[in-house]
Amino acid sequence: MDLLIRESAEIIRESKFVMAFTGAGISVESGIPPFRGEHGLWNKYNPEVLDLGFYFENHEECWFYIREIFYDFFADAKPNKAHKVLARMEKEGLLKSLVTQNIDNLHQQAGSKIVHEFHGNSKRLKCLLCGKLFSSKEFDFKKIPPRCDEDGEILKPDFIFFGEGIPRDAYENSFADAEKADVCIIVGSTGEVTPASFVPRTAKQSGAVIIEINPEETMFTGPVTDIHLKGKASEVLSKLEKELF
Ligand code: NAD
């Protein structure tokens, strides 16, 4: 493992365009459970509450669960060492782009600047009538659903629900970066969610070396990954940091 980390650090140092692709696993050590797996959110909640069609028909019920999952449980989550190492790599010029499937804002809180939010961000709410954006900090969520102060419309969290398209800028920037990357570091993603999982696959097809950080094997591990750093995100990235700086 230490040898693989050293080899990864060398490849990263010698590369011109390193990108990262992160999934729910990077935030597990911040106390946010993933969707899938033994302790996943879908063991407790019905994914229907994040289905766009169901949401439009059942605002009140959906907002009850949305508040509980995203604004009660996760409100106080802080970036962990893994988020911080990626932010430091960007600051020191070793990481040029970060694509995240996460909606928890923890990369930005850790200091990352170039973050393509493939699935949006739970810290923003959007009025679907007039398009106005609000910070979730403006609401205490005691009274739900939150409403637009311009037109009274019910606000929707600005992350994508099942059945919704990927935000255009994030989509285009993510794939453009994947095409020019010479290294893609995948952290904590099963690779089961499309089209997000096509981002590292595109990097691979464009010739990038794929380094995967995950305690488990995933859909990337066999066909896509070149170097699997098997372990928790914060532990592996701490070791990589020591090799890099
Ligand atoms: P996933 O839930 O499908 O899988 C999580 C992956 O993380 C697994 O492969 C697991 O082995 C790995 N993992 C668990 N603990 C880890 C650790 N400490 N370090 C490194 N890896 C670890 O995640 P996904 O592939 O991102 O897909 C889930 C979808 O759900 C995404 O689209 C994402 O938008 C959304 N989601 C986001 C959050 C968040 O914002 N934090 C949380 C849950 C789900």
For 17-49, write each residue's pLDDT tens digit. Answer: 999 999 999 999 999 988 877 778 888 888 888
Please tell me the predicted confidence (pLDDT) of residue 87: 98
Residues involved in catalysis: 119
Q: How far apart are CA 124 and CA 120, in angstroms?
A: 9
Least reliable range by pLDDT among 35-39, 135-139, 166-170, 174-178: 35-39
Say whether pLDDT at 224 is over 90: yes
Q: Among 42, 44, 159, 190, which is best to mutate for testing ligand 1, by the most ligand atoms less than 8 A from CB?
A: 190
Q: Above 80 in pLDDT, residue 144?
A: yes
Q: pLDDT at position 36, please?
A: 76
CA 115 / ligand 1 centre spacing (Å)? 17
Q: What confidence score (pLDDT) does residue 167 get? A: 95
Say what percent of the chain tops pLDDT 70. 100
Q: How much is the pTM? A: 0.95
Residue-level pLDDT at 104: 94
pLDDT of amino acid 93: 97
Going from the Cα of 98 to the center of ligand 1, the distance in angstroms, rounded, reads 15
Q: Separation of 129 CA from ligand 1 center, angstroms?
A: 31
Ligand 1 atom closest to the CA of 74, numbered from 1: 41
Per-residue pLDDT, 121: 96
Q: Pick the residue with more confidence: 36 or 79?
A: 79
Q: What is the pLDDT of residue 44?
A: 82
pLDDT(68) > 80: yes
For 5-18, what is each residue's pLDDT tens digit? 999 999 999 999 99
Q: Name the nearest CA neighbour of 217 among 187, 186, 190.
A: 190
